[in-house]
Amino acid sequence: MPTIKSFPLPDLGEGLTEADLLTWLVAVGDTIELNQNIAEVETAKAAVELPSPFAGVIVALHVSEGDTVEVGVPIIDIRVGGEDGAEPEHAAADVDAPAPVEESDERVPVLVGYGVAKEGSSRRGGRGTPPVTATPNGQNGKPLAAPPVRKIARDNAVDLAEVPATGSHGDVTREDVETYLKGEDLTETWAPHRTGREERTPIKGVRKHTAEAMVRSAFTAPHVTEFVTVDVTETLTLLESLRSSTHFADVRLTPLALVSKAVLVALRSNPSLNSSWDEAAQEIVTKHYVNLGIAAATPRGLMVPNIKDAHELSLVDIARALADLTRTAKEGKSSPADLADGTITITNVGVFGVDAGTPILNPGEAAILCFGSIRRMPWEYEGAIALRSVTTLSLSFDHRLVDGQQGSQFLALVGRLLSTPMDMIALS
């Protein structure tokens, strides 16, 4: 006897209570397997794919793409057991009424835990809205397209149903969307987002979380920023030498890796920079581990994934971790775990040709180091003026946790280690 199983939005961890449904990866009538990805959702921290806890046939989708859904709200009904073509005894009579769901206390697999929110809070989408009927191209519903293609379409306000599909399986490709855009009147295409000469973008997902976190940080932690300009010529010389070493043959070694190593070494004698303020307990929490955050600009906005237990890593391992971290972030695939529990952050504004900045602390951390661009400049060297490679480092810190002396000593030590990198190697 087939039954209808309802799958609610699972607890995605890190205290997150809602998510935006970006893309359905399945349609009504599809037969799916256990753990097959059925949807892509974006939380305040990251975009993740949801695996199905059941194998069976999809009966109904209760949420539309773009809707914000609370944890615990049913998003999909799946018919399990029995023949795929059999009509289940609980199936909905028409699409205007959602299919009744078998009530059960059994837990279903989720990404991070089992906690669910109580239903009843206001939301867009969910049980109170008609289910979405989605079927492949050539039938009577939503066209097929990969998640990146759907994102391009959303960003350009394109209805995929209007785009001629040329994919091998009847799916809409990236090229199809680009061809469609070239032939469209973009003024009309963008009309839902523009008013006169203005364009309005909903504040959602990662960008919303970042904005809230930065405001909270700026108005909670008393920021102090200090600057130091240092000669890093010897560090760049060391960098070139290491790149030719067989130990770094398969690693992309960058100046950021050496800056990261200098920060990790300097923290050993300046632990206050690796602490947090526990307001509820009225305690300062000093961390004896370093989860090194790296601020990354991504298509979803600013994200700060971190390298777990970076203090235990060699320079080779740090370089590999940096490459993996930045690639994953730029692809928009950083998980909530990648973004959680950072202890100190580095932001590299030098890649944008910027010399310095006054960065805002990542909430819950005591300090953030800003690494500026490296420029060839006249510099006093061995009693004469010479062209040297120079950069500016700036350090913002929480003055509740770090006083001026501690912050200054830490920043000066990072600068000294980058000026004389053999000291950094000796202390590693």
Catalytic residue (one of 62, 193, 288, 399): 399
- Please list the residues that pair with 8 across neighbouring strands: 74
Pairing of strands 344-348, 367-371: parallel
In this structure, what DSSP letter does residue 145 have?
B
In this structure, what DSSP letter does residue 354 have?
-
94 contacts: CB under 8 Å, gap ≥ 6: none
> Is 399 among the residues known to form the active site?
yes
24 in Cβ contact with 142 (< 8 Å): yes
5 in Cβ contact with 54 (< 8 Å): yes
Alpha helices in 52-204 (DSSP H): 147-155, 174-182, 186-189
What does residue 164 show for φ and ψ, rounded to 5 degrees?
Answer: -60, 130
Residue 362: both structure tokens together: 């990542």
Cα–Cα separations (whole angstroms), residue 415 to 81, 98, 194, 232, 341: 65, 63, 48, 9, 26
CA 332 to CA 301: how far, in whole Å?
9
Residue 375 CA neighbour count, 13 Å, CB half: 14
Structure-token match 């070494």, residue found: 265
117 in Cβ contact with 72 (< 8 Å): yes
What string of DSSP letters covers 255-308? HHHHHHHHHHHHHHT-GGGGEEEETTTTEEEE-SS--EEE-EEETTEEE--EET
CA 23 to CA 147: how far, in whole Å?
6
117 in Cβ contact with 110 (< 8 Å): no
CA 130 distance to own-chain centroid:
31
Alpha helices in 143-232 (DSSP H): 147-155, 174-182, 186-189, 205-220
- Please list the residues that pair with 198 across neighbouring strands: 195
Q: Which residues are catalytic?
A: 399
